[in-house]
Every structure is written in C-alpha cells, then in structure tokens.
Structure 1
Amino acid sequence: MKYLIEHADIYTPTGIIHNGKILISGHTIQRILTDSDPIPLDNLESYTVINAKRSCVIPGFIDLHSHGGGGADVTDASSDSIETFINFHLNHGTTGLMLTTMSGVPIKELSYHVEQLGKAMDTHESVVGVHLEGPYLNPEYAGMLPPEKLRIPNIKELEQLVDASYDTVRMLTLSPELEGALEMIQFCNEYGIIAALGHTGADYELVMKAITLGASHVTHIFNAMEPLHHRYPGALGAALMDDRLSVQLICDGIHLHPLIVKMVVRLKSCFNVCLVTDAMRAAGMPDGEYMLGNFEKVHYHNGIVKDEKGNLASTGMTMLDAFRNILSFGDVSLSEAIHMTSTTPARVLGLQDYIGAIKEGLDADILIIDDELQIKSVFLKGKKLL
C-alpha cells in the first residue's frame, strides 16, 4: 500500500515542517516534502491520500518496559494473550514494544515465558525484543516482585534464558551489588545485551565500575532504588549525573512527583530519558482486582495499581498517557517529548537507523495526532492500522 499524508505538521529530527507532506511506499518513509515542494511522482493515483490538516505526524512510541495490557500479560504465556497485550499497546501508538518479564516465578517457568515471548517477535512487527527484568535483583529492593523468587547472577542460567528466547533478549535489568553481577554485565556487553541497573542499593563507586564494564541504562529511575543521600550518592546519584547512563522514567505523576520528573529531564536531557509504562494487565481495563503476573492480586483504581499492602505495583498506563503527561507537567516541548517516547529509546536499542524518527528511509512507524493529543491514525511498517 502507498500513502500520501498531506497538510500535516511533521516533526522530523531537524525541525518541524508545517503543512508538509509524507510519501509512504512499502514499509518505509519514501519522501518528506514541504508545502511548496512538488510531488515527484507520475503515478500519484496509486497513492491513498490522507488529509492531516490540524494534525501532527510523529514517530510511533517505543516502550522499553511493559509487562502487559488489555487484560493480558507476559505470564499468561499463550500466543492469544501475548497478541492481546501487543495489540492493546499498538492501538495506543506503541509501534516498538519490549516484552518485559516478571521475575516472580520459578526459573523453569520463566524460561517457558521467555520462549513464548521470543516467538512473538516472528509474528508481530511491533515487538523489538525481550527485556528480562531480573531475576538477578536485590531482594531488599524487590518492589512488586516476590523477594524469595529473586536469584544470584548465574551466567550459564542467563545463557539458557537467552537461548530459550531465540536470541531476542535485548535488555537485562540486574542489581550490580549482587555476587557475580559485574561479570554478568561484562557478559551482556560482549553479547550485545543492554545491561540496565535497577532494584538496587549499590553505592556510587560500584556503579562507576559497572559502567566501565558495560552498564549503560537504568530501569525506572528512583523506583526500587536506594534514595539519594547528600553524603552517599549511590546508584541514583550516578544515574542522574553520569551521561553514560540513559534512564527509564515512569511518567504517571504517581511513581514520581511532577517536580522530580522535571528534575530528571533537566539533569539528563531528553536525549538520555526514555519514558516507559511499566504496565501490567489492568492497563485499559475497568477498575477492579487483577493478578499481577500469576503471583499476586492487586487493586486497580483511577489509573493506580496497588498491592494488598497499599504499595504501588506496576501501572495501568499507555505510552500515549506518558506522552501527554510529560507535556502536561514535564516542562518540555513536543519535540523533546518525541525524543523521550521514540528517538531516545530507538538509540538505546541501537535501532536508530530503522525506527524512532520521521526520516526518509526509516520504517514508516508513524502516528497522526490531533491538537488535543488524540491518535487519529497508526502506521506500522507502512501499514495503516487505525
């Protein structure tokens, strides 16, 4: 299918083209034209024309951290449930999704989950990989995860999980203070897996060492981490101040106060912040009780997910929610928001030559949004889905 999108404000890496035009052919962005540029085609009649007046064209969202949505999650481990989860987020603008494990299950069960998630990458073009959140995490900073199910780093075990995923594991979140974690970070660096630090009480000096061995990312900054102390900066101080670390940020106004969101963006810039959902199965569902993975009952009410003790447990948000929120209280421009929801996550994944921006030659993963930040159209690899 071929499309001509016209009369749109197009957000490109080099600036905004007002009242511009985009030609989509096959799975790629063929041309980006200004209002005055002639359309260089002899067969324009073969293109479906979309009038995007009073709308913006932006790249599809990329979520590095999502466990579920639409009533399904990764622990369901069935192709139908995984498809429900993927399509829910796709319909809310996420054209690049990292399927993120939950480490509250035995290792054999986790291996089976990873296998099913890896298979999904063959059949769903929006899936960009598998993110292992653990199981090599510090039990003292377990957050929503059952601490007794977390494990000491074991490289042979990790290799088995990667093999089970059909080599689709792109990111591993681990606690660097655990015995064997530094060796695991080095292993990840050698095998092209992003080593992300999270659920951690590590000190600043240890994090510096982890960075030299290849750690490059921080999972949901501030959450499940030792708080910042003026004499002991710790992992949080390193995450905020070292530009070798990009960070995930849950921008729901609940996990982080809006002022903290502004602070993180000011310190890290939009070039080192990735907005994530950390969503679970309740995303997009009515208020009520839901299972967090297959190990705990949680309560979802007014967009907030809490466990039986009242602790925050994942989220019920989409990347569209995160995009709107950062524009509402993050003190950023729309272009900066695009970096945090698309361009920076693509770079973190090493996929910037394929996705994450409106640029000629890149995949046509495109959203058309109106001036009220409602999605009018979703394109995935040049196919119009909405």
Structure 2
Amino acid sequence: MATSRATGTAGATTTFTDARLVDATGERRGWLRLRGDRIEAVGQGAAPAPTPRAGDGGGSDAAGADVVVDCGGAYLTPGFIDIHSHGGGGVSAEDGADALAAALAVHRAHGTTRMVLSAVSAPIPELARTLAGLADLTERDQLVLGSHAEGPFLAHGRKGAHDPAALRAPTPADVDALVEAARGTMRQVTLAPELPGGLDAVRRFVAAGVRVAVGHTEVDYAGARAAFDAGATLLTHAFNAMSPLLHRAPGPVAAALEDPRVTLELVLDGVHVHPAAALVLLRAAPGRVALITDAMAATGMGDGSYRLGALDVEVRDGVALVAGTETIAGSTLTLDVALRGAVADGLSLVEAVTALTSAPADALGEGSWLGRLAPGHAGDLVLLDDALTVTQVWAAGRRLD
C-alpha cells in the first residue's frame, strides 16, 4: 500500500467473506459485496452467489472471475474520512495539486480513503490560489472531498501555528473571493466569529454551501451559541486554540457539546488533548465527535525541519512545533493510530470507528453515501487485524496497492 494506484474493473464484484463488520450500527459477523464503486449487499452468515446484472456478466476481475476475499475473521470497516489534514509525505496543501500525491499516498496506506485538504492562513490572493489548486485536485481525484480554509479569519490571541501577519477580520469581498476560487469545492472554513463581521461571514459562507467551523477563537459560550445559530456546524480541533471549558465560563466547547447540530473535531494523538479530556468529549457527544489528523508535511516522514504555510516547524519525537517555541503546529498523526488510541483510552471499537467514518461523513452532509457498511454506500473499506493494524484498503470499489 505504498502508493494510491487503484486496481479493479467498473462492473466487477468483490465479495468479502467471514468478516467482522464494524460501523456505526454495530459489529456483526458476515459478508459484504462490492459491485463497481459501491456496496451492493451486506449480510450475516455465508455469502450468496452474486446476481449478474444486464450487460456486465456478473462482474469479473482481470482474469474473468468474480473476486472473493476471505477475511478470516478480520475486522472490515468503512474507509476512514479525514476532514482536516494539511499534508504528509513531506508536502502540504500549499505545495500544489501535483505534489500532494505523496501526502495522499501516506494517508491512504493508513486507511483514510476520503480527505478534505486544509490550507493555513495566508493573504487572500495567496489563499485563493491554493484553494484553486485544491479545486483542480478535487475535480480529478474522486477520493479528495474538497478543501478547508483554516483561516485567515482567526483571533490573534489564539493563532496557534498561523502567520499573524496573515490574520484579518472577514469582509464580504474576502468571503466571495475564497468561495469563487474554490469553484464549489470548499467544504469547510474555520473562523473566529467574534471578529468584526464574523457572524455575517458565517451566514455568507453557509449560503454558499460551505460548512463553517468555530475555531482559533476567543469567543465565549454565548458568542459560540450565536455562531451556531447563524449556521456554524463544526468546532475545529476541540479544546485547542480556543477559550477553555471552565465551570463559570464554559466557552465554545460546552456550546458545541449541547448543540446536536454541531460536530466536534478531535486530534487524538496524546499531545493535543489529554486522553482523559478526550474521553469526556467522546462520551458527552456520541456520534458527533470526528477524529481528525490535523496532519502536516512530516506525517509519514521523520523528525526534522518542515514548513507549515509561512512558518518554520521543527518535529521532535514526532511532535510538530513552531520553530523556537512550544506551540503545536499540527500533528504527524494518521487515522489508524487515532483508532488504536481511542480503543486504548476506553472506547468500544464501534464508537471509535464511528468517529472515523460516519461522524465526519455526517458533518459534511455526505452520510447518505459515505461512512457506513450499507447498500448504496461508497465501496471504501479497511481490513484490520486483531491489533487494529491496517492490512488492506479499498477505495471506490478498488483495492489500493
């Protein structure tokens, strides 16, 4: 699985037998059949013979025979979905569509079959160019779901690993410029709603079909509730770069937890959030916490010097920090590591898989065809051994080699 090259034929069937099927609906022993790029059928017990469809001869592999994968009791889950990732394999979203093949290969090898690629804060013309490049990639790679602009409409006091010179309050012209550059492929934007024009920007992005995330913000509890009422439906990497959850000042985390419309992103790498706090979040909002990587260029690489937007980053012992500081600069996480961490911290496998699959799919409004093992859903699958190590990955019905 070193590359993302896919193999398979459009009308072929692939039947997975003797699998422990795990998704948001639970765990059961059974079988699953793919036809083309979708799940055709799922069941318990022994798999029936495939039913031919007119014109496809029942589906076949390159040798003319239906493909059967004996899972031998291994876990079979939906493909993982990462809605917040800056890169990997030595490259970032700002490096351009062609360079991002290296980042996609790293994450796909670890079970992430669909991704939203995130850009950091930059001057509006520069960020617009990055979003246009990500639109090009989205249009030619069906596994890329679109882009995420993390900034530049962020609070200076909560900037994290964002260039302070690029931060600004939003204007209608800024919003329109980014939306137009993305050509309908921007899936989410992170902003601080307390900035001048912040709530108007929330409404303007939502009207353009962009999910809005509250993040990198000084907003209080009441202000966060106002942002969610204005249409924001996400909280960017909960607990990080925002007002803390305090008993007399509960802040945006509490506002997000109590609002069933909101999905909370969580970086479960043992660095961004203490495991005990992460478990509180996961228990308080079942099905509404989406595990993300917030991965930067060093993911899949080694320690050393990297760039995140305009900033120098040093990675030491796998932890990414803005050079010369103790400020976290994204992560080197992959979602399979997050899965194992969630289970080790006390979640059931079903709960952990939900946070990697249906929760992010639902957050993007794509739950009708992504993130579940159900007929009509995308043929995105991950085979895991008993140690929850990824052994094989399928995306859009094709095995990734």
> Is the TM value for this pair above 0.5?
yes
Q: CA-to-partner distance for each residue in 1:110-166, whole Å, 9 max, x for gaps?
A: 111111011101121211111111111111110111222111111222111111112
**Aligned: 1:15 with 2:26:** yes
**Shift of the alpha carbon at 1:376?**
1.4
What one-letter code is carried by the residue in structure 2 that aligns with 1:26? G
1:304-323 alignment to 2 at 5 Å? Answer: 304-307=319-322, 308-323=324-339
What one-letter code is carried by the residue in structure 1 that aligns with 2:168? R
**Shift of the alpha carbon at 1:46?**
2.7
Q: Secondary structure at the match of 2:99?
A: helix
What one-letter code is carried by the residue in structure 1 that aligns with 2:117? L
The 2-side partners of 1:40 and 1:26 are apart by 13
**Shift of the alpha carbon at 1:16?**
2.3
Answer whether contact 1:82 1:117 (CA < 8 A) is retained.
no
**Shift of the alpha carbon at 1:40?**
4.4
Paired residue for 2:34, among 24, 30, 49?
24
1:12-91 alignment to 2 at 5 Å? Answer: 12-18=23-29, 20-36=30-46, 38-41=48-51, 43=58, 46-77=65-96, 79-91=97-109
Answer whether contact 2:238 2:265 (CA < 8 A) is retained.
yes
The 2-side partners of 1:350 and 1:382 are apart by 21
Answer whether contact 2:155 2:216 (CA < 8 A) is retained.
yes
Q: CA-to-partner distance for each residue in 1:67-100, whole Å, 9 max, x for gaps?
A: 01011101112x3212222222112111110010
How many residues align structurally? 380
The 1-side partners of 2:162 and 2:359 are apart by 28
Answer whether contact 2:162 2:311 (CA < 8 A) is retained.
no
Answer whether contact 1:96 1:128 (CA < 8 A) is retained.
yes
1:354-373 alignment to 2 at 5 Å? Answer: 354-373=369-388
Answer whether contact 1:90 1:126 (CA < 8 A) is retained.
no
Q: Secondary structure at the match of 2:196?
A: coil
**Aligned: 1:382 with 2:382:** no
Give me the identity figure in percent: 34
**Gap change, CA 1:241 and 1:14, over 3 Å in 2:** closer
**Aligned: 1:185 with 2:196:** no
TM-score by length of 2: 0.91
Q: CA-to-partner distance for each residue in 1:203-235, whole Å, 9 max, x for gaps?
A: 211222212111111000010011223222222
Q: Runs of 4+ in structure 1 displaced over 4 angstroms?
A: 42-45
1:243-254 alignment to 2 at 5 Å? Answer: 243-254=260-271
The 2-side partners of 1:260 and 1:377 are apart by 32
**Shift of the alpha carbon at 1:288?**
1.4
Aligned to 1:298: 313
What one-letter code is carried by the residue in structure 2 that aligns with 1:55? A
**Shift of the alpha carbon at 1:37?**
5.1
Answer whether contact 1:140 1:147 (CA < 8 A) is retained.
no
Aligned to 1:132: 149
Paired residue for 1:255, among 261, 272, 275?
272
Answer whether contact 2:24 2:353 (CA < 8 A) is retained.
no
Q: Secondary structure at the match of 1:143?
A: coil
Unmatched 5+ residue regions in structure 1? none
The 1-side partners of 2:87 and 2:23 are apart by 30
**Shift of the alpha carbon at 1:240?**
3.1
What one-letter code is carried by the residue in structure 1 that aligns with 2:177? Q
The 2-side partners of 1:315 and 1:12 are apart by 26
**Shift of the alpha carbon at 1:12?**
4.2
Which deviates the most, 51-60 or 9-18? 9-18
**Shift of the alpha carbon at 1:169?**
0.6
Q: Secondary structure at the match of 1:275?
A: strand
Answer whether contact 1:13 1:359 (CA < 8 A) is retained.
no
The 1-side partners of 2:344 and 2:143 are apart by 27
**Aligned: 1:350 with 2:360:** no
What one-letter code is carried by the residue in structure 1 that aligns with 2:69? I
The 1-side partners of 2:45 and 2:100 are apart by 42
Paired residue for 1:99, among 105, 117, 120?
117
Aligned to 2:4: none
**Aligned: 1:264 with 2:281:** yes
**Gap change, CA 1:13 and 1:239, over 3 Å in 2:** closer
The 2-side partners of 1:12 and 1:305 are apart by 31
Q: Secondary structure at the match of 1:338?
A: helix
Q: Secondary structure at the match of 1:367?
A: strand
Q: Secondary structure at the match of 1:9?
A: strand
Which deviates the most, 273-282 or 299-308? 299-308
Aligned to 1:157: 174
Q: Secondary structure at the match of 1:230?
A: coil
**Gap change, CA 1:245 and 1:41, over 3 Å in 2:** closer
The 1-side partners of 2:277 and 2:295 are apart by 20
The 1-side partners of 2:132 and 2:209 are apart by 19
RMSD over aligned CA atoms reads 1.5
**Shift of the alpha carbon at 1:15?**
3.1
**Aligned: 1:211 with 2:211:** no
1:218-233 alignment to 2 at 5 Å? Answer: 218-233=235-250
The 1-side partners of 2:126 and 2:208 are apart by 24
What one-letter code is carried by the residue in structure 1 that aligns with 2:19? A
